[in-house]
Amino acid sequence: MEQITQFVAANLIYIYLIAFTVLLGFEVISKVPTVLHTPLMSGANAISGVVIIGAIILIRSSESDDYVSLIFGTLGIVLAMINVVGGFAVTDRMLEMFKKKKKAQS
Protein backbone atom coordinates (compact mmCIF):
# COMPACT_ATOMS: atom_id res chain seq x y z
CA MET A 1 0.00 0.00 0.00
CA GLU A 2 2.76 2.37 1.00
CA GLN A 3 4.47 1.67 -2.30
CA ILE A 4 1.34 2.68 -4.16
CA THR A 5 0.97 6.01 -2.36
CA GLN A 6 4.65 6.67 -2.91
CA PHE A 7 4.27 5.85 -6.56
CA VAL A 8 1.28 8.15 -6.95
CA ALA A 9 3.10 10.96 -5.17
CA ALA A 10 6.19 10.54 -7.33
CA ASN A 11 4.25 10.29 -10.57
CA LEU A 12 1.43 12.72 -9.98
CA ILE A 13 2.40 14.78 -12.98
CA TYR A 14 2.18 11.70 -15.20
CA ILE A 15 -1.23 10.86 -13.84
CA TYR A 16 -2.41 14.36 -14.75
CA LEU A 17 -0.84 13.91 -18.15
CA ILE A 18 -2.71 10.65 -18.73
CA ALA A 19 -6.04 12.08 -17.61
CA PHE A 20 -5.76 15.09 -19.90
CA THR A 21 -4.43 13.11 -22.85
CA VAL A 22 -7.31 10.66 -22.60
CA LEU A 23 -9.85 13.50 -22.67
CA LEU A 24 -8.01 15.33 -25.43
CA GLY A 25 -7.69 12.14 -27.46
CA PHE A 26 -11.41 11.41 -27.26
CA GLU A 27 -12.20 15.01 -28.13
CA VAL A 28 -9.92 15.19 -31.17
CA ILE A 29 -10.71 11.76 -32.55
CA SER A 30 -14.47 11.89 -32.18
CA LYS A 31 -14.39 14.70 -34.76
CA VAL A 32 -12.93 12.46 -37.45
CA PRO A 33 -15.63 11.64 -40.04
CA THR A 34 -16.47 8.10 -41.17
CA VAL A 35 -14.85 8.75 -44.55
CA LEU A 36 -11.47 8.97 -42.85
CA HIS A 37 -11.71 6.14 -40.35
CA THR A 38 -9.35 3.83 -42.18
CA PRO A 39 -6.60 6.47 -42.52
CA LEU A 40 -7.23 7.42 -38.88
CA MET A 41 -6.70 3.87 -37.84
CA SER A 42 -3.55 3.34 -39.86
CA GLY A 43 -2.19 6.74 -38.82
CA ALA A 44 -2.89 6.08 -35.15
CA ASN A 45 -1.37 2.68 -35.65
CA ALA A 46 1.83 4.33 -36.88
CA ILE A 47 1.86 6.52 -33.78
CA SER A 48 1.68 3.42 -31.58
CA GLY A 49 5.11 2.63 -33.02
CA VAL A 50 6.31 5.24 -30.53
CA VAL A 51 7.40 2.24 -28.41
CA ILE A 52 10.55 2.45 -30.54
CA ILE A 53 11.70 5.24 -28.21
CA GLY A 54 11.76 2.73 -25.36
CA ALA A 55 13.75 0.27 -27.44
CA ILE A 56 16.30 2.95 -28.38
CA ILE A 57 16.75 4.01 -24.74
CA LEU A 58 17.06 0.37 -23.73
CA ILE A 59 19.82 -0.33 -26.22
CA ARG A 60 21.69 2.84 -25.40
CA SER A 61 21.74 2.06 -21.70
CA SER A 62 22.80 -1.55 -22.18
CA GLU A 63 26.39 -2.75 -21.87
CA SER A 64 27.96 -3.51 -25.22
CA ASP A 65 28.37 -7.20 -24.31
CA ASP A 66 24.78 -7.62 -23.07
CA TYR A 67 23.74 -9.46 -26.19
CA VAL A 68 20.32 -10.45 -24.91
CA SER A 69 19.29 -6.80 -24.55
CA LEU A 70 21.03 -5.79 -27.77
CA ILE A 71 19.51 -8.48 -29.96
CA PHE A 72 16.00 -8.30 -28.57
CA GLY A 73 16.14 -4.53 -28.33
CA THR A 74 17.20 -4.28 -31.97
CA LEU A 75 14.45 -6.70 -32.94
CA GLY A 76 12.09 -4.35 -31.09
CA ILE A 77 13.41 -1.41 -33.09
CA VAL A 78 12.95 -3.26 -36.38
CA LEU A 79 9.37 -4.25 -35.53
CA ALA A 80 8.37 -0.82 -34.25
CA MET A 81 10.05 0.90 -37.20
CA ILE A 82 8.09 -1.25 -39.67
CA ASN A 83 5.00 -0.11 -37.80
CA VAL A 84 6.05 3.57 -37.93
CA VAL A 85 7.31 3.88 -41.50
CA GLY A 86 4.77 1.48 -42.99
CA GLY A 87 1.92 3.08 -41.07
CA PHE A 88 2.67 6.65 -42.06
CA ALA A 89 3.53 5.73 -45.66
CA VAL A 90 0.35 3.76 -46.23
CA THR A 91 -1.77 6.46 -44.60
CA ASP A 92 -0.19 9.01 -46.91
CA ARG A 93 -0.98 6.80 -49.88
CA MET A 94 -4.62 6.62 -48.88
CA LEU A 95 -4.97 10.31 -48.13
CA GLU A 96 -3.37 11.21 -51.44
CA MET A 97 -6.33 9.52 -53.14
CA PHE A 98 -8.77 11.63 -51.19
CA LYS A 99 -6.91 14.82 -51.96
CA LYS A 100 -6.73 14.15 -55.70
CA LYS A 101 -10.51 14.03 -55.83
CA LYS A 102 -10.83 17.43 -54.30
CA LYS A 103 -8.77 19.06 -57.04
CA ALA A 104 -10.56 17.20 -59.79
CA GLN A 105 -13.86 18.45 -58.49
CA SER A 106 -13.08 22.14 -58.18
Partner 1 sequence: MIKTILDIGFLIAAISFINGLRRLSTPATARKGNLIAGAGMILAIIIAIIYPLGDEGSGNYPWIIGGIAIGSLIGWVAAKKVQMTAMPQLVSIFNGLGGACAVLLAVLEMLKSSADNKIGIAISVFTLLVGAISFTGSILAYLKLDGKVKDKHVILPGHTYVNIAFLIASIVIAVLYVLNPSSTMLIVLIVISLVYGFSFVAPIGGADMPVVISLLNSLTGISAATAGFIYNNQIMIIGGILVGASGTILTVLMCNAMNRSLLNVIIGGFGSSGGSSSGADLDGKTAKEVSSYDAAVMLNYSSSVMIVPGYGLAVAQAQKVCKELDELLSENGVDVNYAIHPVAGRMPGHMNVLLAEADVPYAKLKDLDEANAMLPSTDVVVIVGANDVVNPSALDDPGSPVYGMPVLKVWEAKNVIIMKRSMSPGYAGIQNPLFFNDNSSMFFGDAKDSINKLVTEIKSLG
Residues 17-76 touching partner 1, rule: CB under 8 A, are 17-18, 21-22, 24-26, 28-64, 68-70, 72-76
Please count the residues of the chain.
Answer: 106
9 part of the interface to partner 1, by CB under 8 A? no
At its nearest, how many Å lie between partner 1 and the CB of residue 102? 6
Q: In angstroms, rounded to a whole number, what is the distance separating the alpha carbons of residues 39 and 78?
A: 23
Is 89 among the residues that bind partner 1 (CB under 8 A)? yes
Cβ-based burial of 55 (10 A; exposed 0-12, middle 13-18, buried ≥19) = buried
Contact flag: residue 7 with partner 1 (CB under 8 A)? yes
Q: How far is the CB of 70 from partner 1 (least distance, A)?
A: 5
Q: How many chain residues touch partner 1 (CB under 8 A)?
A: 85
Q: Which of 104, 98, 56, 100 is nearest to 79 (CA)?
A: 56
Burial class of residue 4 (count of CB atoms within 10 Å of its CB; 0-12, 13-18, 19+): exposed
Tell whether residue 16 is a contact of partner 1 (CB under 8 A): no
For partner 1, the binding residue among 9, 12, 16, 102 (CB under 8 A) is 102
